[in-house]
Structure 1
Amino acid sequence: MHPRVAIVGIAIESSTFTPHRADLVDFVIRRDGQLLDYYPFLREGHPLRAAAEWSPLMQARAIPGGAVRAAAYQAMEEEILTLLRQGGPWDGIFLDIHGAMSVEGATDAEGALASRVRTCVGPEPVISASTDLHGNVTRDLLEAVDLITCYRMAPHEDEMESRERSVRNLLDRVASGTRPVKAWVPVPVLLPGEKTSTRIEPAKGLYAKVAEVAAQEGVLDAAVWVGYAWADEPRCRAAVVVTGDDSQVVAAEAEGLAHTFWQARDRFSFVAPAGTLQECLSQAKQSAARPFLISDSGDNPTAGGAGDVTWTLARLLEDPAIRSGELHAVYASIPDPAGALAAAAAGTGASVSIEVGARVDDRHQPPVLLEGTVEHVSITDPVAGTVALIAVDGLRVIVTERRKPYHRRQDFAHAGVDPALADIVVVKIGYLEPYLYEIAADWRLALTPGGVDQDLLRLGHHRIDRPMYPFDADMDAPELTAVMVPPRH
């Protein structure tokens, strides 16, 4: 008989340094066939589809933001636990989470969720957790699950590959009836993702070693978590977990990866040349490279920023070369429900005067006034809702009803603008996702303010475990001894 495997999870990356709060409306909740089809490796025709009796119960996913409201989290958790109780018994649980979810009033949201799932289903089912490499790993999380893995690429071009690995490991252990040992090494380093991209060294070499370790005899899987830098919780730090059946091998390899990470700590640097916004704009103006992309990194909604900080937009609106039309720039984007709806109601070609932004995060700049022409309106974007493109002299501003990152060609197409034709494109992002990376003739990372400020030292962490690099740059070398989490019997 095929094993019975349930799919559940809640996934969001949460900054505790933004006033944004994630609510139920921010989550896309998938159930039943919609959830099963979300995973390419579980669709009809794929061998894994026929390898188990799948029960896609409920998985909730949101773009990054602030901490999840307690009531919203409790509603999602209760649905998961209720469905697990009603549908059991289970042979396996595929737990699809992020690793950096913060919940109001909690300090280890994923550890608590995994522990409650374990209590609900009992000791017998194999639980396999798939996470983001920007997640955090605690002892509570490790003890609740039998298997855990994370991405090996940043940007996360391998996220589905990682989830498939999690599922394959799950089915392997259900079939064998054996549980692996886990070797866990917390590493006292906390760096922003923009300094740990696997496109460049030292992260590129570090993650190449992960695959080599995973291929060794006696090892089932290996994973390195960078940790999540924009939450102020004791669990936030880098970590290594090596899973397998040979205790000595997994311990030695976990410690080896941890030492490699620690020794490289001061060689991590920004994935692109970085500077102030003004420095980045000056370089863009002096360059012949077009389009020239600039990351508005401090308010990146894909890392947890509120997305509506107007600090950068205000300065673009004041720039003489852009105001004169000498340079054509695109700003993607600013969420403002009232502004997007007002522009849409005015219609394409209409002149408008509307204030936008800073409805959630107004700590750095108040709302800005857009006095210009509506060039495009869309009401079909499934994430952003109503979208308006407003031209203010040489600047095209994408105003959205709901928070949305602009990463893909179709995102811009919904907004009626082709970024490849602009002189300067400013996106609320850190490192560039593949489409933006491909079209960028040149690129700079602007060190702007917001809930995911790249300057961690000015954010004010006070709850992380210390000492921690780079907060304590001269700290003594840690022991980096593996903590062994034995198999569940």
Structure 2
Amino acid sequence: MMRDTETAGHRRIFVAAMATETNTFSPIVIDRRAFLDSFYAPPGTHPDTATLCTAPIPVGRGVCAALGWTLIEGTAAWADPAGLVAQAAHEGLRDEILAQLQAALPVDAVVLGLHGAMVAQGCIDPEGDLLARIRTMVGPDVLVCASLDPHSHLTAQRVQAADFFVAFKEFPHTDFVDCARNLWAIVVDTLQGRVRPVMSTYDCRMIDVFPTSREPMRGFVDRMIAIEADDPRVLSLSAIHGFMAGDVPEMGTHMIAVTDGDAACGAALAQRLGQELFANRGRHMMPSLDEDAALDLAVAVTAPGGVTGPVVIADMWDNPGGGTAGDATVLLKAAMARGLRGVAFGTIWDPIAVTLCEAAGTGGVIPLRFGAKSAPQTGDPVDALVRVEALVANAAMVFGESVVPFGPAARIALLDAQGAETGIEVILNTVRAQSYDPSLFTVMGIDPLACRLLVIKSTNHFHAAFHPIAADIIYCAAGKPYPNDPATTPYVHVRADIWPRVADPFGAVEAAQ
């Protein structure tokens, strides 16, 4: 029976977010404290500023306020990427959101902010588990949808439980607010009877890295946007890149097409675009250098007569945004050995070292061991005489419209045995976060434009903010803190029939059939 509020056009919508990205090879367990340190907002306390995977909440506030609809907010939780989510943390957040939804019933739609690459102790597909439980709770006729990070796993359980997904198109993820707006536009059009979303998917049988800051992915994303604008049947197109550090059975690249009731159109479009991605396999990832070649190039670029402005080296595989600790020292030790000056490193994760710096106080000179504590192939700890240049109790940088905490943090200057400055400064942090923006340096009192060389830890999210100030950007593969070669990564659960684990995955599948 239709409720009176439905007759009047009023809608009740539940919204919540539960997100992190799990590198199953990382030794760092995500507990509830990790969510509290990164982002945790109980019902009604989410700030007006959007935060990556939780953007559907503040965007939904504006949408529902304009329409006079009721938005029931559940918990929003995000933890910076690391290893497996502790069972108690996963089940606690899941059950918290489910209880909030149960109390809100009846609702006309459930809108979620998810990442899509969460793996927990005892649950290989937490997002699929959450969606399936929600579908059971609300029944088949209530709209259920979610935004996704493209570095996710598109499992069959999720596809079966949800009406549709919309993923960020850009990597770096500069469009997470636009993604939430697209998600809500489809929700509104559906509830007002203008569209009937149907989701079609295509398995590309591959895993790759797809930065949209360069070709061929830049052109691919532009074509997706053009199709959405030009074809009235198409409500949304999303490329699910996959997340190669997630050892799960359904890891890999997929295409999603959401159409207005035209499943055949969606299936054909998803297949065509998915095959285009597969045809460009191996051409998407940024070319990278080892630490010695990267520093050689940086020195050449900044030599007298060269370009002005800082050269940015991205320590791309020691990326806390991919679940690593962010404490590798391979590049730092190489820079120290060369006697390079005008260098700032942001950041090296070492809570113990920060505590020792706090005890010494600003201006204190101490012998300090820091870095390379988390895992093999991250280098060796650095032993150095250092001066504490700055201490910030709640250090944070920006990422688009988001605020990303990384403190308490300490900025140290490395000294030689006589106490003279070596020309290298390092930011030590206690909350793991990749290097998104130059505000990482300015909040610690470093002028990035005054540096010859900035070394940051990020695969590509840094690009949008650092590119405008960089004389050059160099991608460096130093050590191996991250499983970055899926052809040789010792997966246990990932299927064997995807590229590059096999050269011809489509032929392998056909042969098996």
Alignment of 1:295 with 2:314, yes or no, is: yes
Higher RCO structure, 1 or 2 (CA under 8 Å, sep 6+): 1
2:418 maps to what in 1? none
Question: Cα deviations across residues 12-46 of structure 1 (Å, max 9, x unaligned)?
Answer: 11111211111111111113333262448846994
Q: Which residue of 1 aligns with 2:154?
A: 137
Partner of 1:197: 211
Aligned equivalent of 1:486:
none
Per the alignment, residue 101 of structure 2 pairs with 84
| 2:411 counterpart residue number | 389
Inter-partner Cα distance in structure 1 for 2:488 and 2:445: 38
- Residue 274 of structure 1 aligns to a residue whose secondary structure is coil
Matches of 1:90 and 1:48, distance apart in 2: 13
Contact 1:133 1:150 in 2 (8 A): yes
Identity %: 26
Report the count of equivalent residues.
470
1:268 pairs with 2:284: yes
1:304 positional shift? 1.7
Give the Å deviation of 1:48: 4.5
Who is 1:471 aligned against?
501
The answer to whether the 8 A contact 1:17-1:459 is kept is no
Instruction: Give yes or no for the alignment of 1:19 onto 2:19.
Output: no
| Paired letter, 2:235 | L
2:490 & 2:329 partners in 1: Cα distance? 22
Of the three residues 306, 331, 339, the one matched with 1:321 is 339
The answer on 1:377 being equivalent to 2:394 is no
- Preserved contact between residue 343 and residue 423 of structure 2 (Cα < 8 Å): yes
Name 2:428's counterpart in structure 1. 399
| CA distance in 1 between partners of 2:174 and 2:362 (Å) | 36
Q: Provide the TM-score with structure 2 as the length reference.
A: 0.86
* Other-structure match for 1:34: 45
The question of 1:9 aligning with 2:17 is answered: yes
Contact 1:386 1:401 in 2 (8 A): yes
Residue matched to 1:485: none
Query: Which shifted more, 432-441 or 147-156?
Result: 432-441
Alignment of 1:12-411 (within 5 A): 12-27=20-35, 28-35=39-46, 37-39=48-50, 42=58, 46-51=62-67, 52-176=69-193, 179-192=196-209, 196-215=210-229, 216-244=231-259, 245-270=261-286, 273-288=287-302, 289=307, 290-317=309-336, 319-322=337-340, 327-362=341-376, 364-381=378-395, 383-392=405-414, 393-411=422-440
Contact 2:59/2:180 (8 A) holds in 1: no
Alpha-carbon distance change, 45 to 251 in structure 1, aligned in 2, over 3 angstroms = closer
SS at match of 2:339: helix
Distance 1:43 1:161, change over 3 A: closer
Report the 3-state secondary structure (helix = DSSP H, G, I; strand = E; otherwise coil) of the residue aligned with 1:391: strand
Any unmatched runs of 5+ in structure 1? 481-489
Task: Indicate how the Cα distance of structure 1 residues 104 and 314 shifts in structure 2: closer, same or farther if over 3 A, else same.
Answer: farther
Contact in 1 for aligned 2:208/2:285 (Cα 8 Å):
no
Q: Secondary structure at the match of 2:273?
A: helix
Change (3 A) 1:30 1:108: same
Cα distance in 1 between the residues matched to 2:382 and 2:218: 40
Segments of structure 2 that go 5 or more residues without pairing to the other structure are 397-404, 415-421
SS in structure 2 opposite 1:395?
A: strand
The amino acid of 1:247's aligned partner reads A
Contact 1:297–1:430 (8 Å) recurs in 2 = yes
After the TM superposition, list the runs of 4 or more consecutive aligned residues in structure 1 that deviate by more than 6 angstroms: none
Q: CA deviation at 1:477?
A: 5.0
Deviation, 1:296, is 0.9
CA distance, structure 2, for counterparts of residue 429 and residue 20 of structure 1: 18
Whole-angstrom distance in 2 between the partners of 1:175 and 1:479: 43
1:291 and 1:442 in contact (8 A); partners too: yes
SS at match of 1:185: strand
What SS class does the counterpart of residue 302 from structure 1 fall into?
helix
1:9 positional shift: 2.1
Alignment of 1:433-452 (within 5 A): 433-452=463-482
What amino acid maps onto 1:222 in structure 2? Answer: L
Q: Name the counterpart of 1:483.
A: none
In structure 2, relative to structure 1, the CA distance for the partners of 1:229 and 1:437 (3 Å cut) is same
Q: 1:455 aligned to 2:485?
A: yes
Paired residue secondary structure (1:314) = helix
- CA-based RMSD of the aligned residues comes to 2.3
